[in-house]
Amino acid sequence: MTRIGVTGAAGRMGKVLIEAIDEADDLTLGAAIVHPESSLIGADAGEMAGIGKNGVALAGNVADVKDAFDILIDFTFPDLTLENLEFCSQHGKAVIIGTTGLTDAEKEQVMVAAEKTPVVFAPNMSVGINVMLDLLHKAASVLGDDYDVEIIEAHHRHKKDAPSGTALRLGEVVADALGRDLKECAVYGREGFTGERSQKEIGFETIRAGDVVGDHTVLFATMGERIELTHKASSRMTFAKGAVRAARWLQGKPAGLYDMQDVLGLKD
């Protein structure tokens, strides 16, 4: 049975990941890692996550439990994710990364590490969002430059990066389908006398409020009609189940950088 390590185990996403792994028949929680100064170190991971004792003691460092897991799932922060990835690439551990907010330079580091070990890296592990990405590319290709594109996303008040990694990925897919460079055509919010909208810009609007798990809408609008593609996540479990699905798929894969489109067989 494949052993899974979860880092950031005491966080909102970490607890849900532990629950999702517990529900899987073919995976088991091998390690759970928290902050090295956490008072929870040594406590039972299952009890901490609210699913009952499972015999896995919370650790303060990936290195302390390197022999207890085969695949590490990381939904933490860029700096920590890159540290964990480097460790795993040196010790033959596969990695699933759901961390967002990485810079282009940090993404390059992920690519380099993936030359040594298999990595699934996706800004959103939801199966639904990844189906939406597939639909979005087709829609943008057919609609073309005659339709204005706006991307609206909403998340809880605690989210630190904006726009969300998912929103940016949605924008990248649209830009690719339309033959544009997102770095050149993206507009992040509008204020004041902005003038008329240019034909080829892709707009982003960000909402941070309450406990919104994650809402994303891509709006295509032209004179006389508009099309909206929307995905709404009501529970973090949707991301956890996607990560579990990625873990199953990643078993036995060679070193390389993969995403959820690979996991779901959506690539041509």
User: Annotated active-site positions, please?
Assistant: 155, 159
Is 33 within 8 Å of 59 (Cβ atoms)?
A: yes
Give the whole-angstrom CA distance, residue 219 versus residue 230: 9
CB atoms within 10 A of CB 191: 5
Going by C-alpha positions, the residue among 169, 167, 172, 174 that lies closest to residue 142 is: 174
In Å, how far are 49, 113, 218, 242, 250 from 19, measured between CA atoms? 7, 28, 31, 13, 20
Going by C-alpha positions, the residue among 116, 117, 93, 97 that lies closest to residue 107 is: 97
DSSP one-letter code for 198: P
Give the whole-angstrom CA distance, residue 43 versus residue 35: 13
